[in-house]
């Protein structure tokens, strides 16, 4: 069985074609500037086919999908003979609200429910819907599955997902913590259980997804019991450009003092804050490491804040679960930054965590970076959201 995994953004579309017999990625690629002009980078990963990296006209997502299918099946760049070899499509969908606690096969009622969730993710869900419709246009009745970023977090108890605002806002408007990165937290926690050789039902895991966007998740017995992102992906940890947790009074103060609108304020909190805002240097942790090593105090402060927040939130989840067996680092920073992992683990002495410096220096593999004697185990596990989407799709379409 071969499954096409699609992650559609408003002007971009990422894809992978995965052979489910071997779980090998046969080809992957990225369409960019959809609706502007259009560019496709397509990389075959099996056989000796060529990489395609050129402008292609993409007035809408339908032309983008058509270009992807054309490349996947072409003699020069392709990895399959025809579209018929693609058995199913798995779509990443950002928000499933309270309706979806699992992945589902897409039909008209599912499309309507995803549309109902647009107010919760006004930038993302419309793009995901556009991607699904474009696939239908081009691929006809190939079975399709939606995999939601929010679904894994639906097991949170009310005490974790409720905000302490008048209850009517929850009841009437769905205002609550939803959480994001669920597919990633699900993947790394189940992989962690495999690496530990224990059933996930017996483990308490804190999963730290640290990329441009970052979130932490408390996973007790394989189920999410709390997570740091909320109604939107703006809160929790300070991130590349997002502010993380913030006193709402600050918003009123800044808006009044500088006469700015709520839209401008939200733009500042989403795009100009986080480690970029504090450092004034960059949202990229490599640039911050570099600047800090040259004596830039604000870059060091931004890094210190990030590490402190990860440790603080992770610690609160140890309290929430009344213990922890393993801590996992994943995503861009979690997988690549030895120094960030070491700095964060430095806060976990009270858990009996000891880091093996040599293991912590390795890269690109699933690895335990704590010493064999470490009371709580610490892992680096490269995330693989596409594989989860493909596996769910396979399980659902059979």
Rounded to whole angstroms, what are the CA distances from 37 to 8, 12, 197, 347, 353? 17, 11, 50, 48, 51
Q: Compute φ and ψ for 42, nearest 5 degrees.
A: -120, 125
Nearer to ligand ADP, 58 or 208 (CB): 208
Q: Is 95 helix (H, G, I), strand (E, B) or coil?
A: coil
Residue nearest to ligand ADP (CB): 332
Of 333-372, which residues contact ligand ADP (CB under 6 A)?
333, 336-337
Inter-residue contact 241 to 272 (CB < 8 Å): yes
**What three-state secondary structure class fits 186?**
helix
Instruction: Pick between residue 62 and residue 214 the one whose CB is nearest to ligand ADP.
Output: 214
Residue 18 or 275 having the CB closest to ligand ADP? 275
* 302 interacts with ligand ADP by CB under 6 A: no
CA–CA separation, 255 vs 300, rounded Å? 28
Q: Which stretch binds ligand ADP (CB under 6 A): 49-57, 162-170, 263-271, 280-288?
A: 280-288
Q: Is 38 in the site for ligand ADP (CB under 6 A)?
A: no
Taken as a whole, the chain contains a residue count of: 398
Residue among 53, 137, 149, 284 flagged as catalytic? 149
How many residues bind ligand ADP, per CB under 6 A?
12
Q: How far is the CB of 64 from ligand ADP (least distance, A)?
A: 20
Residue 16 touching ligand ADP (CB under 6 A): no
Contact status: 240 vs ligand ADP (CB under 6 A): yes
The CA distance from 341 to 276, in Å, is 20
Q: Which helix (H) or strand (E) holds 168?
A: helix 167-173
- The span from the CA of 398 to the CA of 246, in Å, is 45
Comparison of 303 and 324: residue with beta carbon closer to ligand ADP? 303
Closest CB 302 distance from ligand ADP, rounded Å? 11
Q: Does 237 bind ligand ADP (CB under 6 A)?
A: no
3-class secondary-structure state, position 209: strand
Q: Tell me whether residue 30 or residue 139 sits nearer to ligand ADP (CB atom).
A: 30
Provide, rounded to whole angstroms, the least separation between the CB of residue 259 and ligand ADP: 32
- State yes or no: residue 213 binds ligand ADP (CB under 6 A): yes
Confirm or reject binding of residue 274 to ligand ADP (CB under 6 A). no
Is residue 193 within 8 A of residue 116, CB to CB? The reply is: no
Is residue 285 close enough to count as binding ligand ADP by CB under 6 A? Answer: yes
Strand locations in the chain, DSSP E?
A: 2-8, 13-19, 24-32, 39-44, 52-55, 88-93, 104-105, 144-148, 204-210, 214-220, 223-227, 326-330, 367-368, 377-380
Q: Is 286 in the site for ligand ADP (CB under 6 A)?
A: yes
Beta carbon of residue 139, minimum distance to ligand ADP (angstroms, whole number): 26
Is residue 310 within 8 Å of residue 327, measured between CB atoms? no
247 is catalytic: no
Q: Find the binder of ligand ADP among 332, 368, 377, 385 (CB under 6 A).
A: 332
Residues 6 or more apart whose Cβ sits within 8 Å of residue 289: 303, 337, 339
- Under the binding rule (CB under 6 A), the answer on residue 74 touching ligand ADP is no
212 touches ligand ADP by CB under 6 A: yes
Contacts 24+ apart (CB under 8 A), 286-294: 289/337, 289/339
Q: Is 94 a residue that touches ligand ADP (CB under 6 A)? A: no
- Stretch touching ligand ADP by CB under 6 A, among 51-59, 74-82, 281-289, 341-349: 281-289
The beta strand positions in 56-137, using DSSP E, are 88-93, 104-105
* Cβ pair 326, 343 in contact under 8 A: no
- CB of residue 293 to ligand ADP, shortest distance in Å: 12
Q: Does 306 bind ligand ADP (CB under 6 A)?
A: no
Beta carbon nearer to ligand ADP, 128 or 374: 128
Binding footprint of ligand ADP on the chain (CB under 6 A): 211-213, 240, 284-286, 331-333, 336-337
Active-site residue set: 149
């Amino acid at each position: 069985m071969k499954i096409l995994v699609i992650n559609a953004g408003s002007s971009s579309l990422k894809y992978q074609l995965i052979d489910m017999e071997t779980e090998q990625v046969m080809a992957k690629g990225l369409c960019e500037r959809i609706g502007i002009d259009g560019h496709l980078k397509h990389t075959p990963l099996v056989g000796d086919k060529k990489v395609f990296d050129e402008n292609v006209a993409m007035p809408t997502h339908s032309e983008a999908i058509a270009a992807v299918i054309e490349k996947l099946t072409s003699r020069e760049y392709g990895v399959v003979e025809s579209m018929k070899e693609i058995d199913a499509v798995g779509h990443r969908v950002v928000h499933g609200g309270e309706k979806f606690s699992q992945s589902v096969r897409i039909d008209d009622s599912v499309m309507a429910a995803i549309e109902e969730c647009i107010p919760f993710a006004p930038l993302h869900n419309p793009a995901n819907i556009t991607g699904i419709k474009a696939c239908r246009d081009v691929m006809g009745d190939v079975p399709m599955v939606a995999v939601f970023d929010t679904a894994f977090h639906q097991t949170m108890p009310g005490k974790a997902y409720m905000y302490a605002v008048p209850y009517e806002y929850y009841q009437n408007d769905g205002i609550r913590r939803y959480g994001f990165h669920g597919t990633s937290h699900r993947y790394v926690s189940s992989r962690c259980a495999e690496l530990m050789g224990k059933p996930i039902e017996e483990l308490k895991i804190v999963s730290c997804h640290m990329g441009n966007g970052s979130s932490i998740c408390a996973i007790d017995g394989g189920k999410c019991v709390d997570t740091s992102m909320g109604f939107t992906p703006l809160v929790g940890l300070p991130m590349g450009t997002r502010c993380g947790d913030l006193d709402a009074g600050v918003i009123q103060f800044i808006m009044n003092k500088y006469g700015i609108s709520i839209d401008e304020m939200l733009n500042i909190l989403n795009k100009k804050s986080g480690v970029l805002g504090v450092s004034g240097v960059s949202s990229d942790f490599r640039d911050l490491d570099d600047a800090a090593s040259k004596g830039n105090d604000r870059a060091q402060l931004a890094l210190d804040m990030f590490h402190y927040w990860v440790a603080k939130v992770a610690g609160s989840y140890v309290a929430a679960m009344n213990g922890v067996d393993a801590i996992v680092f994943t995503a861009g920073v979690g997988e690549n930054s030895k120094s960030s992992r070491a700095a964060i683990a430095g806060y976990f002495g009270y858990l009996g965590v000891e880091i093996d410096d040599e293991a912590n220096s390795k890269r690109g593999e699933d690895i335990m970076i704590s010493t064999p004697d470490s009371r709580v185990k610490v892992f680096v596990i490269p995330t693989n959201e596409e594989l989860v989407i493909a596996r769910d799709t396979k399980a659902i379409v059979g």
